[in-house]
Chain A
Amino acid sequence: MLRYTLSRLQSLILSLIVASIVIFATVEIVPGDPASFMLGMNAQPDTIAALREQLGLDVPLWQRYLHWATGLLGGDFGTSYTYRTPIAEMIAERLWISLPLAIYALTLSTLIAFPAGILAATRRGSAADVSVMGFTQLGVAIPNFWFAMLMVLVFAIYLRWFSAGGFPGWENPLLAMKALTLPAVALALPQASILARVMRSALLDTLSEDYVRTARAKGLTRRQTLWRHALRNALIPVLTIIGLQFSFLMAGAIIIENVFFLPGLGRLVFQAISQRDLIVVESVVMLLVFAVIIVNFAVDIAYAIVDPRLRGNR
């Protein structure tokens, strides 16, 4: 297990290095000079040159990469070209919304998907199965922003249970959670639908495995067989999807953030791109990549906990 973890860590670090180089290079290739963009159309060439020097854009590429990368290690993301504020602060502020939102949505989706998937698989072909399959079909098909607006209409405007958008800050955690509830539900719906379907098919596969028959022959009831033997074996594909969904929720919540006026990471990147605030784009993308890689690492470790075959030789 230790060896497996170390080898996973090794590949985690390698991926991070490669990703940082790719991100840096890609952003550098994008046309548009931040200095001339910041100074506007009528700027004098020498003013631009001076600003370039001030921003550190005049040194060779590799030096800028090293400077940026070592900065990242120390938590220094640099300074935004547009706002002249430390990027670390900007990101931290946004992260406090995006991360809880992602976790909230993922928790909801898992809480919905597991029972639904298990129910559908154990009563295959029953009314319960048909309705789970029907609802999840709908959940995948409905665009989540439309569903979000519908919820705003019902719960915020007619029923007035929730506010229609905005974020009050974490001073009152209860209020903050309340503000994140509708967006989390909107995000969770399609995720839960996909996850429930994966859970169902993974469980159906394991339920037809030979070892389930062996367990039944040993005298276990259907329910015991499900909990002790089938479920854990069905978790591998489910974990894969959960990992992918978490990564997506961190960065892909941008539309929902817009519907609910939440100042999250997605909106930050969007604004930074339109303002050629490349260093912010680089940093946020790097952060997201970091999150994805960490999540994948966590999923890999979870695989090994679930399935001893992956732990390698002991």
Chain B
Amino acid sequence: MSLLSISNLNLSIRKKPILRDVSLTVDAGQIVGIIGESGSGKSMTAYCVTQLLPEGLEPSGNIRFNGKDILQTSEADMCAIRGAEVSMVFQEPMTALNPVHTIGQQVAETILIHEPETSKSEALERARDALNRVELPESRFPLSRYPHEMSGGQRQRVVIAMAIALRPKLLIADEPTTALDVTTQAEILTLLTRLVREDGMGLMIITHDLAVVADMADHIHIMQKGQIVEHGPADRLFQTMQHPYSKALLAASSHVPDREQPQGETPLLEVRNVLRDYPLPRTKLFAKPESFRAVNDVSFTIRKGESLGLVGESGCGKSTLTRAILGLEEIQGGEILLSGEPVFTGKKPNRAVRRKMQVVFQDPYGSFNPRHRVDRLITEPFHLLDSAPSDRADRIAEALRSVGLTPDDAFKYPHEFSGGQRQRIAIARALIIKPELIILDEAVSALDVSIRAQILDLLAELSETHGLTYLFISHDLSVVRSITDRVLVMQHGKIVEQGETQSVFDNPTDIYTQTLIAAAPRLPEDLRNF
């Protein structure tokens, strides 16, 4: 009998079905991947298993875990099961730990809650063991550490240590690596696999990224709109998949938009020996505060019509560099020229240059004022012009049409649109003053794969029709690979490698680039069409 067996699980929120007849099993020692886009019900399935659903939600169907009927188990008994027999790891390690308790206290708490007869010192000792198992050695990570003194990957290890401290039979990991850098992601996935093999526990791993589970899971379920549309053993699923949605999902994950190689050698953006220092907090009252060099001697050129990728992990300085290019902040050395003119003159950005470039940010929810209508939102760049254009309405209509929306959408508010549509609005906002350069700062990172594929197609098309040049900043190597001509790899504020995208990815010379590429999750080789 399986460790966990879910059969015909149904769940509705206000009569809207969230889960429809979900059935799956997880065996001891088995890794089961659940893949789906946002809203597919994959996380809700996990919350049903631990009975941590938002209040008032009553799932129907049958969930049997280790012989127990979970849906009939009382809250008190569930508390005894959670953390001891079924544990969970969540997406956002930065906020998953209580900031006011030490890591030792938090790991020991799992033990003390379930085995109250344990002495505090013994619990701390066992917490130490758990932390050692997730590769947080005592020398660098004493129990007295607080979460804010650790990085995201390290915090995720603490969360995993809490989850496995009592050697649970089942671990549910809900997007455990989505918020992490690729190298950290690879480490965490290896760690989880190792723990499964060592303890023989079942692992249910939930993700939107096919590639993450492709070479790790034993069995994969693909969910769409609350239903499991396809499932099978991981090693055969990709060859045998039948359902149109799974096929579309696979195609979207490895989608490469059609693009023409850029012609011409005219430089558009020139970045020369740029330095950017941040002052650190004052440590002495009257002494000059020390500074941190976020961008260190960076030089590169983007040619007209080209698409240049900038990759690097969080904290490498790529966002700082973006702000410097946009003239939002003053640089401490070097120069940034757009068509030969400096982006920053004197103490303020050069408006004549600023209107030639626009930016699209990552978060399609956070980057709009929710109280402004679309027409007002997308005409924001007009403040860069000396006088507002007379054909405002025409230009709004044109911008919206070119991103695949209709002119009527101008009178709606951002909350009426989906994430992908909002990102289209953000692109329309960038297009409206006909810029030459668009900086895409993680512009597709928050989108589901199918939407991401559409947006990438749109970008490729716009680049041809509007003669646009892109600076494409991302931590996602597969996206950069699919849409850029050349790529820069940034680490610790420096460019460590640059070159033609294809050759950098195929033959990386720098060690860091090699690590990055090796760490990036990938689909089975024969399925990728590049």
| Chain A residues close to B by CB (< 8 Å) | 10, 209-211, 213-221, 224, 228-229, 232-233, 306-309
Contacts and interface: CB of A to CB of B under 8 A. Distances in A.
B110 A308 contact: no
B97 A214 contact: yes
Nearest to B51: A216
Contact of A307 (B83, B99, B163, B285): B99
B134 interface: no
7 contacts: A211-B96, A214-B162, A217-B50, A218-B87, A219-B83, A233-B100, A306-B100
Interface string B139-182: 00000001010000000000100110000000000000000000
B95 interface: yes
Given A233-B100, A306-B100, A219 B110 contact: yes
B90 A213 contact: yes
B159 A219 contact: no
B157 to A, nearest CB: 14
B162 A210 contact: no
B162 A219 contact: no
Contact of A216 (B82, B95, B98, B159): B82
B159 A214 contact: yes
Given A214-B88, A308-B148, 20 more contacts: A209-B95, A211-B98, A213-B90, A214-B90, A214-B159, A214-B162, A215-B109, A216-B82, A217-B87, A217-B88, A217-B163, A218-B162, A219-B80, A219-B113, A220-B83, A220-B109, A221-B75, A307-B100, A308-B102, A309-B146
Interface of B: 50, 52, 75-76, 79-84, 87-88, 90, 92, 95-102, 109-110, 113-114, 146, 148, 159, 162-163, 285
B113 A220 contact: yes
A308 B99 contact: yes
A211 B97 contact: yes
A224 B99 contact: no
A214 to B, nearest CB: 5
Nearest to B98: A211
B98 A219 contact: no
Nearest to B97: A211
Given A213-B90, A309-B146, A228 B52 contact: no
B8 to A, nearest CB: 25
Chain A contact residues: helix, strand, loop or mixed: helix
A229 B98 CA distance: 7
A219 B285 contact: no
Contacts of B101: 229
B90 A233 contact: no
A201 to B, nearest CB: 19
A232 B82 contact: no
A210 B159 CA distance: 12
B79 A219 contact: yes
Given A217-B52, A220-B79, A211 B113 contact: no
The 3 closest A-B pairs by CB, nearest first: A219-B83, A218-B83, A210-B95
B405 to A, nearest CB: 33
A56 B96 CA distance: 65
Contacts of B80: 219
Contacts of B99: 211, 233, 307-309
B178 to A, nearest CB: 13
Contacts of B100: 232-233, 306-308
B82 A219 contact: yes
Contacts of B96: 210-211, 213-214
Contacts of A306: 100
Contacts of A219: 79-84, 110, 113-114
A77 B88 CA distance: 64
Nearest to B95: A210
A248 B192 CA distance: 55
Given A211-B98, A228-B109, A233-B100, A217 B83 contact: yes
A218 B92 contact: no
Contacts of B114: 219
Contacts of A209: 95
Nearest to B82: A219
A219 to B, nearest CB: 3
A156 B79 CA distance: 53
A207 B163 CA distance: 20
Nearest to A212: B98
A228 B81 CA distance: 19
Nearest to A228: B109
Contacts of B52: 213, 216-217
Nearest to B107: A218
A307 B102 CA distance: 11
B90 A218 contact: no
Contacts of A215: 98, 109
A66 B468 CA distance: 69
A215 B97 CA distance: 9
Contacts of A224: 113
A258 B58 CA distance: 59
Contact of A217 (B82, B92, B95, B97): B82
A309 B148 contact: yes
A210 B90 CA distance: 9
B530 to A, nearest CB: 37
A233 B88 contact: no
Contacts of A216: 52, 82
